[in-house]
C-alpha cells in the first residue's frame, strides 16, 4: 500500500481565496451603500482608515497577535483531524491564569512574573484542551462536543472569579485589579498598543511550521490526520496524536489570553476574549491550517475590524458590519473546505 502525502504550501489557494475575499467585500459594499448616508466617506475610512496614522495601524497589528496564536492552535488540531471548538474558554481561562499569577506576586521581577504568568496560561489552556483529547483516546468521546461543552462551562467559572474573588472593588467595571507595571509588555509603536510580543509571535509561527512539516513527530501527526487506520498499521501511536495536538492547541489559546492581558488590557475583565477563539477557526481555515499562512490571515481579520472601527468613528456606519463581513468569510471558507474534503472522495467512489 502506498500513501501519498501532499505537502502544504506556504500560501493558500489563490483562486479560491480571491473569490472568497471578493464576495466578502462585495457584501460589505452593498451594506455600506444600503446603510450609510455618506457611502464615499464610509468606504474611504473603511479601507484607508486602518493605515492613516500610527495609532490605527499599530492597534490593527496588535489585534492580530492573539488571532495568530488562536489560528496556530486550531491549525495544529485540524491537521490531525481533531476539532477544538473550545478556544474561547481556553483563551479566557489562560488570561485569568496569567492575571492571577501577576496579582499574586506584585513585587516580583518583570522577567520572573512574565515567564511564570505565560507558563501558567499555556499550561491552563493545554490541560483544558488536552482533556478532550484524553477523552477521545480513552472512551472515543467526540472531542468536538466535549471541547465545546467544557469551554462553555469554563466561561461562567472564569466570570465568577472575575466578579468575585479577583474583582476590583474600586473599579466600576467588572474586572480584576491591574497587574504591576513591570509585567507589562514594552510598547514599540506609540501611541498605539502594539508591543514587542509581535516579533516573538512571528518567530513562533515559523517554528510551528518547521515542527509540523520538518520533524518526524510533525510527520506522524499529519499522517494520523490523513489516515489514522493506516498510521496505526504503520506502527504510529495514534492515541498519542489524539492528545498531543489538543495539548498544543490549548497551549496556543492559553498563550493568546496571556498576551492579551500582559500586552494590552493589563487586567482581566469580563468577556475580554471577545470572539478570539471563534475567529481563530476562520483564520486557520483561510490559511489552510498552514502556520505561516496564519499570519496574513490574522492580519486580514484584524484589518476588517480596524476598518469597521475607523468607519464607525469617522462616518455613520456601525461596527457590526465587520462582524457580518467576517461571518461571510467564515461561511465561504468553511463551504470551500467542505467541498475540498468531499471532492476527492467522490472521485475515488
Phi, psi of 62 (to 5 degrees): -65, -40
Nearest in space to 73 (alpha carbons), one of 85, 64, 60, 59: 85
Q: How far, in Å, CA of 189 to CA of 324, rounded?
A: 30
Tell me the sheet residues that pair with 195: 187
Give the other-Cβ count within 10 Å of 280's Cβ: 33
pLDDT, tens digit only, all 349 positions of the chain: 334 434 443 344 556 667 777 777 787 788 888 878 888 888 898 889 898 889 999 999 999 999 999 999 999 999 988 999 999 999 999 999 999 999 999 999 999 999 999 999 999 999 999 999 999 999 999 999 999 999 999 999 999 999 989 999 888 889 999 999 999 999 999 999 999 999 999 999 999 999 999 999 999 999 998 888 889 988 899 999 999 999 999 999 999 999 999 999 999 999 898 889 988 998 998 888 999 999 999 998 898 888 888 888 888 777 777 677 767 777 777 676 666 655 554 555 5
175 secondary structure, DSSP code: B
Given a contact cutoff of 8 angstroms between Cβ atoms, the answer to whether 132 and 84 are in contact is yes
- Secondary structure of residue 167 in the 3-state scheme: strand
Given a contact cutoff of 8 angstroms between Cβ atoms, the answer to whether 79 and 266 are in contact is no
pLDDT at position 186 is: 95
15 grid coordinates:
483562486
- Which domains does the chain carry? 14-27+55-339 (1.10.3470)
Q: How far, in Å, CA of 113 to CA of 91, rounded?
A: 19
Distances (CA, A) of 41 to 46, 184, 293, 326: 8, 37, 32, 21
Q: How many residues does the chain have?
A: 349
User: How distant is the alpha carbon of residue 31 from its chain centre?
Assistant: 27
Prediction pTM value: 0.89
Q: State the DSSP string of 207-270.
A: HHHHHHHHSHHHHHHHHHHH-HHHHHHTT--TTHHHHHHHHHHHHHHHHHHHHHIIIIISS-BT
304 grid coordinates:
476588517
Amino acid at each position: 500500500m502506498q500513501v501519498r502525502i501532499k505537502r502544504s504550501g506556504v500560501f493558500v489557494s489563490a483562486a479560491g481565496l480571491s473569490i472568497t475575499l471578493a464576495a466578502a467585500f462585495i457584501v460589505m459594499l452593498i451594506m455600506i451603500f444600503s446603510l450609510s448616508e455618506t457611502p464615499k466617506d464610509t468606504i474611504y475610512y473603511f479601507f484607508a482608515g486602518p493605515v492613516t496614522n500610527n495609532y490605527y495601524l499599530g492597534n490593527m497589528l496588535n489585534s492580530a497577535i492573539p488571532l495568530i496564536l488562536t489560528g496556530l492552535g486550531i491549525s495544529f488540531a485540524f491537521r490531525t483531524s481533531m476539532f477544538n471548538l473550545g478556544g474561547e474558554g481556553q483563551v479566557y481561562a489562560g488570561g485569568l491564569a496569567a492575571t492571577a499569577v501577576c496579582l499574586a506576586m506584585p513585587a516580583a521581577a518583570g522577567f520572573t512574573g512574565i515567564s511564570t504568568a505565560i507558563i501558567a496560561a499555556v499550561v491552563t489552556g493545554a490541560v483544558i484542551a488536552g482533556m478532550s483529547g484524553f477523552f477521545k483516546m480513552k472512551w472515543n468521546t467526540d472531542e468536538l462536543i466535549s471541547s465545546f461543552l467544557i469551554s462553555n462551562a469554563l466561561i461562567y467559572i472564569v466570570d465568577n472569579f472575575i466578579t468575585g474573588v479577583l474583582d476590583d472593588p474600586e473599579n466600576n467595571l467588572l474586572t480584576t485589579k491591574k497587574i504591576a507595571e513591570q509585567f507589562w509588555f514594552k510598547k514599540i509603536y506609540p501611541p498605539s498598543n502594539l508591543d514587542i510580543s509581535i516579533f516573538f509571535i512571528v518567530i513562533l509561527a515559523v517554528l510551528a511550521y518547521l515542527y509540523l512539516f520538518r520533524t518526524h513527530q510533525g510527520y506522524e501527526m499529519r499522517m494520523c490526520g490523513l489516515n489514522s487506520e493506516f498510521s496505526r498499521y504503520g506502527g504510529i501511536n495514534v492515541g498519542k496524536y489524539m492528545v498531543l495536538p489538543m495539548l498544543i492547541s490549548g497551549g496556543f489559546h492559553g498563550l493568546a489570553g496571556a498576551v492579551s492581558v500582559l500586552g494590552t488590557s493589563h487586567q482581566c475583565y469580563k468577556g475580554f476574549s471577545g470572539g478570539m477563539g471563534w475567529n481563530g477557526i476562520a483564520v486557520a481555515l483561510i490559511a489552510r491550517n498552514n502556520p505561516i499562512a496564519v499570519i496574513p490571515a490574522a492580519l486580514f481579520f484584524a484589518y476588517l475590524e480596524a476598518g469597521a472601527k475607523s468607519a464607525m468613528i469617522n462616518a455613520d456606519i456601525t461596527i457590526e458590519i465587520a462582524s457580518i463581513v467576517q461571518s461571510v468569510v467564515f461561511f465561504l471558507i468553511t463551504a470551500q473546505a467542505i467541498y475540498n474534503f468531499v471532492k476527492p472522495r467522490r472521485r475515488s467512489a
